[in-house]
Structure 1
Amino acid sequence: MEKRWVYSQEASAEVVERLSESLKISPTLASILCQRGICTFEEAKHFFRPSLSDLHDPFLMKGMDKAVDRLNKALHKSEKILVYGDYDVDGTTSVALMYGFLRNYTHQIDFYIPDRYKEGYGVSQQGIDWAAENNFKLIISLDCGIKSADKVASAKEKGIDFIICDHHLPDDDVPQAVAVLDPKQVDCPYPYKELSGCGVGFKLAQAFCIQNDIDQEEAFKMLDLLVVSIAADIVPITGENRILAHFGLRHLNGPQPMRPGLEALKELAAINYEMDITSIVFGFAPRINAAGRMGDAKNSVRMLLAQTKDEAFKMAAIINESNKERRTKDSNITKEALQMIEEDDFLRSANSTVLFKETWHKGVIGIVASRCIEKYYRPTIILTQSNGVASGSARSVHGFNVHDAIESCADLLDQFGGHMYAAGLTLPVENVQAFRERFEEIVASTITAEQKIPQIQIDGKIELKQITRNFYNIIRQMEPFGPGNMGPVFESECVYDTGSVRIVGDTHLKLRLTQDGFHTIDAIGFGLSDYYKAISKGIPFNVCYTVEENIYRGVISLQLRIKDIRVK
């Protein structure tokens, strides 16, 4: 698939030179820091040396004082507290964090995760009723609740108070809870707006420690769960999130024993190296998510809260089986979906993809939508039948607002919600064809030619001889990488293979590159075997890549992970 190379805006030469001299690093690396908003020595100091002392005061968050007061009241009166969370990774880690923290101070506590299919997303009436039947007086909702004004009102009628910890955009109708903690409230002065749901819950735990003269280390012990949430929920790894992720990863990779549940996940995912954001995203997140997609999300919480290795591995084995089932259904439905596109002349040339099959498993349709975008790069909606209606997940491409496009079809829908790049919707089955046609019309009239081509953001052009161990070590200090702080991508021009190019694993390229005939470096290009013929002829080409370490038979060396190739 053709890719568009987009170059990051260069910073002022004067600013780059000043930063380069003050940090004693190359102008290339100084430029990359400036692109990330780090333009002074002091800013670089905080960036390269994250500190928990740089975390914001949790009481800056609107409602925090009320939340802590209500929590203290519940603990002092031995009221029953219900920790309520969503069924995805952010929700389950949030529940595990809050429940695990509060069980040190009360035994009158339980947790609740709604059934994905019977109750749906967010606070459910079934959950409220269950809490009332079991005499809970306080519900702490995490990663949900900001859009549940009616449910919070229902709970109040039943004598149950709510503390909401959420990070989604509020509606105009903010729930009348005892406290609403959400930095995205328009009148919330909290300086950092991009916390995950679990991050908001952590700030409540931190505030509780401060108010009650408890060592904040009791809250910091939960950072291993928080970094899993940050990685899986794809929130920006900037500002406070970057500090929290840094120390969460240090917890996961440190000398102290790992939480039994995460240790079990690490073993099942065969992660035998230092963990980073990527290993959480691909190793931990799918397994934690699979419990809610294929069965009972409470199993994820039970695993994360397990206090013994035996208990943790027992729950992890159940979750791993759910993940195997998820992968099978994901693979089978993706094949069906791609075949439907390939066999339909209209769908092949369309500007969007809308597919419906009543038997597809609802738990994986979002994943299938993302898989389809990998092959056909355009806004995609995958629909299945659930509870008598068509229910779907939408995914989008860079720069295109799929939520707005869906909103333009609102008269055909029962309900919808989401954001620019991902959304959910339900509609009558008989409206599917009309929706498909309308959605295609809207996308065709609003999407640009550039938005239909996947882009690669390139941070700078360098020569291969610049890639030294010291150069790589400075890049490593820019971690953790993720949205808002992606691993630097470089371009090198007029490189060629030294004669070792070969195809590995059917579709991948293994090369040894040089520019000047003297400095050489190994490279791997996944899915780039189509370039083998041209490269094997010694034709020079441009390449964009990230720099990484490769460990082979105990030998550590630098290599390039090629993202794309342009033959001259």
Structure 2
Amino acid sequence: MPQRKWFVQRTNPEYIKYLSQSTGISPALAQILINRGIKTPESVKQFLSPDINHLIDPFDIKGIKEAVDILKDAIKDGRRILVHGDYDTDGLTATAIVVESLRSLGAELEYFIPDRFVDGYGFSNGGLQHALNTGTSLILTVDCGITSFDAIKKAKSKGITVIVTDHHEPKRDSSGVSILPEADVIVNPRLDPEAPVMSGAMVAFKLCEGLLGRGEARRLLDLAALGSIADIIPLVDECRIVVKEGLSLINSFERKGIKALAEVSGLRAGNINAGVLSFTLIPRINASGRIDHARDVIQLLLTDDYDEAVSIAERLHDLNLKRQRIEEDVLSQAMEDVQHRGYDFAIVCASEGWHEGVVGIVAARLVERFYRPAFVFNIDGDIAKGSARSIPPLDLYECISRCSDLLISFGGHKQAAGLKLPVDRLTEFEERINIIISEMLTDEDLIPTLTIDAAVRLKEVSFRLIQELQKLEPYGAGNPEPLLGTKALEVLNPRIVGNNHLKMLLKDNSVVMDAIGFDMAERFEMLQNGRIDAVYCPSINEWEGGRFLQLRLRTFRASEN
């Protein structure tokens, strides 16, 4: 990645003092909360103590009352319901939420998870045919459907009731007005500018909260949290409450499937946070939909048979290992292509034989490496099908929308999208997307920024501060782990330890503190100056029965003085 510029967020010192004194928190925590837009004593209280009772009423979300009424009538009348999900973690957890809820109400139902390689994304002919084959009279989509115009129209022509629940961007006309499918009811927070940002699993949870009541629906928060973390939804407002409560359920291991998958991943109850899930359970769940079929995940999440859960979890673990090998192979080829062809405002890579299930991850890895929006396509005959990932300043969905005349189909969000186009349009697409992005970004936007929450001296880093910072959890999108910065630290006893890590003591006046930089051994020479400016996360390290403060280095540079 290009050299990052450091940006220290600053606020009026008098306001920091006011918020600190009025809430009883440290000035450093006050600064961090202000950075996150939490600027009043009341909002500080709500953020630091998220309460399930502060969740919005599900019936305040447009379409939920109508959907609940239709579903209750369908259950009473014994109509067969098809729950149509998606093959990623968000879509799978959303499916499990709805299936568990409807079964508890006595519904006669089936669920359908599309095959990435046969059916493609979303509600399409495969899902419709399954509905017709099973005598379905009501289709409920979760985490998909908002752009499934043809399949919904065909379903309606067969007399099937269709409820769409989704959180993806709708198609819009040239003036920005939403173009919607002809479903009986649509529930999508994207259609309401006042609604909070939600994952597909959260939308499913709100629907089931309306069906069951908050008390009964509470048991589903583990699945809603898992889907929200997987889809990188900002952990603020409604989502923060859902994930906070859901993590407690996940750590209880009450759900047999989560317990089995966690144990296969080497995790223990009580130590699982959002970051841990992103590197353990979520990749294993996603692996099934990336390189195989994901239907077993629903059984994993719903079963009460622990032995069955372990069997499925072990299969997902093996699939994830296979996915990693495939991903590394495609990434290596894509990197060679980029280095050979170069890039402009965007990276566009395409090749035959690239596994469709990993092109999205490879696009994300290219963004991480080059800090450019990346589009990675697999070519199959005369069709190029791919995934795209963006950098924070760029609305990827808007960019792709402006190229829609070149595409067969597309969908997604500001930061991630999927798209399909004829191979003979690839060159034109690459040229057009670069022009569009050049118009939307400045040169400054193409320089990655490391945002530092507060500049502090080491004397301010204490056990009390770290305990305060823990109240900010869960960390994730929209609420990253706080980064502190300190200039002109004296480096004492620097050394390489373990597998490629840096270890040292850092001195600031009379305060000396332990510091570790994971995977930073190649930067050892930068310490020879004797003084560094450091960006870090303060932590408590427990070792041989003792507890001591430790700085986990995020980055550092040689001090200028």
Distance 1:306 1:229, change over 3 A: same
2:472 to 472, 478, 485: 478
Specify the alignment match of 1:213 in structure 2.
none
Between 1:286-295 and 1:13-22, the stretch displaced more is 13-22
1:555 positional shift: 4.3
Equivalent residue letter for 1:58: P
Report 1:181-330 matches (<5 A).
Answer: 181-186=187-192, 191-210=194-213, 216-254=214-252, 257-272=253-268, 274-330=271-327
Specify the alignment match of 2:7 in structure 1.
6
Specify every segment of 5 or more residues in structure 2 that has no aligned partner in the other structure, as ranges: 172-177
Q: Deviations over 1:176-211 (max 9, x none)?
A: 32321112214x7xx53211111111111111124x
For 2:259 and 2:133, the matched residues in 1 are separated by: 36
1:261 positional shift: 0.9
Distance 1:88 1:387, change over 3 A: farther
For 1:203 and 1:544, the matched residues in 2 are separated by: 39
Q: Deviations over 1:57-104 (max 9, x none)?
A: 111111222111111111111211111111111100001111112211
Matched, 1:178 2:184: yes
Q: Is residue 167–residue 200 contact of structure 1 (8 Å, CA) maintained in 2?
A: yes
Distance 1:362 1:553, change over 3 A: farther
Q: Is residue 504–residue 510 contact of structure 1 (8 Å, CA) maintained in 2?
A: no
Report 1:431-442 matches (<5 A).
Answer: 431-442=425-436
Between 1:177-186 and 1:547-556, the stretch displaced more is 547-556
2:487 to 460, 485, 493: 493
Q: Deviations over 1:112-161 (max 9, x none)?
A: 11111211111112211211221112222111112223322221222221
Equivalent residue letter for 2:29: L
Matched, 1:542 2:533: yes
Q: Is residue 262–residue 304 contact of structure 1 (8 Å, CA) maintained in 2?
A: yes
Report 1:125-164 matches (<5 A).
Answer: 125-164=125-164
Specify the alignment match of 1:28 in structure 2.
28
Matched, 1:375 2:369: yes
Between 1:83-92 and 1:130-139, the stretch displaced more is 130-139
For 1:445 and 1:41, the matched residues in 2 are separated by: 41
Q: Is residue 2–residue 454 contact of structure 1 (8 Å, CA) maintained in 2?
A: yes
Tell me the secondary structure at the aligned position of residue 103 of structure 1.
helix
Distance 1:185 1:351, change over 3 A: closer
Matched, 1:399 2:396: no
For 1:266 and 1:417, the matched residues in 2 are separated by: 32
Q: Deviations over 1:29-54 (max 9, x none)?
A: 11211222322322222222221111
1:554 positional shift: 5.3
Equivalent residue letter for 2:534: V
Tell me the secondary structure at the aligned position of residue 357 of structure 1.
strand
Q: Is residue 147–residue 181 contact of structure 2 (8 Å, CA) maintained in 1?
A: yes
For 1:34 and 1:270, the matched residues in 2 are separated by: 37
Specify the alignment match of 2:166 in structure 1.
166
Tell me the secondary structure at the aligned position of residue 394 of structure 1.
strand
Equivalent residue letter for 2:379: Q
Q: Deviations over 1:329-362 (max 9, x none)?
A: 00111112212333x2x41x64432211101101
Tell me the secondary structure at the aligned position of residue 375 of structure 2.
strand
Distance 1:350 1:367, change over 3 A: same
For 2:109 and 2:129, the matched residues in 1 are separated by: 17
2:506 to 513, 530, 551: 513
Q: Is residue 352–residue 378 contact of structure 2 (8 Å, CA) maintained in 1?
A: yes
Equivalent residue letter for 2:6: W
Specify the alignment match of 1:38 in structure 2.
38
Report 1:336-415 matches (<5 A).
Answer: 336-342=333-339, 344=340, 346-347=341-342, 350-386=344-380, 388-415=382-409
TM-score, normalization by structure 2: 0.93
Instruction: Tell me which of the two structures has the higher relative contact order, counting C-alpha pairs closer than 8 angstroms and 6 or more residues apart.
Output: 2
Equivalent residue letter for 2:505: R
Percent same amino acid among aligned pairs?
Answer: 35
For 1:551 and 1:336, the matched residues in 2 are separated by: 42
Equivalent residue letter for 1:520: V
Specify the alignment match of 1:72 in structure 2.
72
Q: Deviations over 1:254-295 (max 9, x none)?
A: 4xx431111111112212351111011111111111111111
For 1:152 and 1:407, the matched residues in 2 are separated by: 22
For 1:43 and 1:83, the matched residues in 2 are separated by: 38
Number of aligned residues: 551
Tell me the secondary structure at the aligned position of residue 510 of structure 1.
strand
Between 1:296-305 and 1:550-559, the stretch displaced more is 550-559
For 1:555 and 1:271, the matched residues in 2 are separated by: 23
Distance 1:250 1:512, change over 3 A: same
Distance 1:553 1:158, change over 3 A: farther
1:296 positional shift: 0.6
For 1:125 and 1:302, the matched residues in 2 are separated by: 24
TM-score, normalization by structure 1: 0.92
Q: Is residue 511–residue 524 contact of structure 1 (8 Å, CA) maintained in 2?
A: yes
Equivalent residue letter for 1:2: Q
Tell me the secondary structure at the aligned position of residue 98 of structure 2.
helix
1:446 positional shift: 5.0
